[in-house]
Amino acid sequence: MKDFINSIYKNHALIYKALLFICTTVLIVYLFPKQGKFKYNFIQGKPWQSENLYAPFDFAIKKTKQEIDAEKHQIEQQSNLYFNLNTTVEKNVRAAYKQTFYQTFPDSISKNQLNTLYKTGELVLDKLYSYGVLNENFNFSEEKKSVILDGQITVKQTKFENLIQQKDVTTTINKLLKANQVEGFEIHFLSIFFEVVEPNLSFNKKLTENALKDELSKIAYTRGSINKETLIISKGEVVEGEKYQVLESLKNEYKSQVWTASNYNWVVFAYTLLVLLALLMLLLFLRKYRLDVFNNNTKVTFIFFNVIMMVLITSFVLNYNSQYLYIVPLCILPLVLKAFFDARLGLFTHVITVLLLGLIVPNSYEYMFLQITAGIITILTVSELYKRVNLFISVGQITLIYIIAYFAFFVIHEGSVDAIHWETFGLFVLCGLATLFVQPLIYVYEKLFGLVSDVSLLELSDTNSKLLKELSNKAPGTFHHSLNVANLAEAAANEVGANAMLIRVGALYHDIGKMKNPTFFTENQSTGINPHDELSPKESANVIIDHVLDGIEIAKKNNLPDRVIDFIRTHHGTSLVYYFYKKEKSMNEEASKEDFIYPGPKPFSKETAILMMCDSVEAASKSLKEPTSSKIDTFVENIINKQMESEQFLNANITFKEIQSIKKVLKHKLANIYHLRIEYPE
């Protein structure tokens, strides 16, 4: 049992990767839309490239979207409007009219004329309430059939134009008065009608909508059917018209037929195999070409998390509406991975993700071509992501590539640009704008996964930051030394293709531990007093060695990223504090060498190895007297060769050729620092 537990503990990293691999596969398959995939590809207006196709089962021919929309439009045009009638309103209005009429018209008018005017007013009311007055204004078509209800009973049926709307009441009264020739009394009538006329019709929205829904529900979405074994299309026959619609119907029916209870498990199993193969390729790539990432479970989790997120977002959009597929900013994936790792890993992961999505998206070849091309452009164009203008330029290029590729595919499919979907170009623009979200996303990932990007490195490289200001105040000599090392290391990194921004930040912070006892280091001694004179060689060596541990402690307190702390840990490797060891040796022949060795570890990356070289060369160069080109060459060679002899670069992925290039850069930079000229022969 104990051996079993020990075995699990020793292999816990691999066990975690296996569990992550399985869980990611299960989650991706779960997220895939639950529908089958038609095995034939066809394009409207192009010849059928496959063998003769016979119906594999009975299925109905579905109507086109245009046909269904036309039927819906016709039903909507012919649907009824329903209005509720208030029968008491007209009675009340007529009673109020009778009372108000005799109060409004003067007694000086003759009785016959008064009776005529009274009857004229009744005619106006008859016209107003012949169908009714609406309680509000509507924008319905005048030809719309309108049904007037008294409770549940239909009272009248007419066109909507015969109903009087609120905005038309005054106009209608004026027309009727003018037609009945009541000149001189218009104002009297208007004052009466303005006071007594009330609406008696209200729109029954619920009944109108329910009636429309009932009619729409009767629409048949199919027309005719195809029997099993019927020839659908022959090889070479052009896919158009009725043939195209039959194929589309078969494709849609096939998707629903495949995911039946009997073969559901087989289809899921097949999807699982394909996802397993894709993710396995990703893991093998990491193990073969990025072993440092493969060995870091946090980084592997981060990569798999990003793949899952892209599948999740795409699946959600597909389930909602596949027309919005190209609004998903898939190019965020290579951008993020390039920011934290490198371009090759970013592109490979992007391709694997696109292959996975190709299993579920419509027009998979077109989709994969567009996305892989955009991913390549992303990797090739985006450099120095911390510069905002570079991201905007890259997003513009990505959007342009999407538009050009989509335009080319559309012309190939349709043969013309007459029916091109311009709204798709708008989706590509929105996709480009969504890609700009990568900047805040990188910040969130840094906090969640403890990673560091070039954007954060740029912030850390600011010499006005709190920690570097403190270093310049407490240990000005060390601060100046760190700046010189940063310049040397950055130049060397550019020469061999290392991460120049990372190494510059590492160089700026590598000696922050010296702030604890600044005067014990020669670059900070300005008074001529050396505190080491009061200490034994062993005590002095301990103070010198402790600046590494002190630096790690200060860095963690100030929340510096682990990638930066690695430079503090490794910049002396397991080298010897040679001066104090020799001093102790002269006093005690039995002095232990282990007491004068830095705790390490040795540099384990190209960047940390470069920093060790530059730090040693810059520090030792202060001891050069009357430097010449030949002296500098010998000096650089000796220091770096000693580091190589003590196997300080054994764990770093740096080659002899790269070390020679770094030596060349350091020699050239030191010659510039000391303003050396060519030595002419005497």
Tokens 């700009």, residue? 436
- 426 pLDDT tier (thresholds 50, 70, 90): confident
Q: 1 is written with which tokens?
A: 């049992």
- Return d(Cα 565, Cα 634) in angstroms, integer: 32
Contacts 24+ apart (CB under 8 A), 24-28: 24/279, 24/304, 24/307, 24/308, 25/272, 25/275, 25/276, 25/279, 26/272, 27/308, 28/275, 28/307, 28/308, 28/311, 28/356
- 217 pLDDT tier (thresholds 50, 70, 90): confident
DSSP 514: G
- Which whole-number Å values give the CA distances from 617 to 116, 142, 440, 522, 523, in the listed order? 120, 92, 39, 15, 14
- Region 511-527: mean pLDDT is 88
pLDDT at 36: 58
Q: What is the pLDDT of residues 559-607, one digit of tens each?
A: 898 889 999 999 999 998 888 888 888 887 777 888 889 988 999 889 9
Q: 408 is written with which tokens?
A: 């080319």
Domains assigned to the chain = 2-34+263-445 (no CATH), 74-216 (no CATH), 454-673 (1.10.3210)
Q: Which of 129-138, 302-311, 510-519 has the lowest mean pLDDT?
A: 129-138
Q: 572 is written with which tokens?
A: 């002396």
- 546 pLDDT tier (thresholds 50, 70, 90): very high
- Region 356-367: mean pLDDT is 85
pLDDT at 402: 84
Distance separating the N- and C-terminal Cα atoms of the chain: 82
Q: What is the pLDDT of residues 440-476, one digit of tens each?
A: 888 888 888 878 877 788 888 888 889 999 999 999 9
pLDDT at 678: 47
pLDDT at 260: 57
Q: 169 is written with which tokens?
A: 């009441």
pLDDT at 661: 94
Q: Which of 55-64, 256-265, 379-388, 460-469 has the lowest mean pLDDT?
A: 256-265
Q: What is the pLDDT of residues 143-156, one digit of tens each?
A: 889 998 888 888 88
What percentage of the chain carries pLDDT values higher than 90?
A: 26
Q: What is the amino acid identity at position 353?
A: T
Q: Does 680 have pLDDT greater than 50?
A: no
pLDDT at 566: 92
Do 653 and 607 contact (CB within 8 A), yes or no?
no
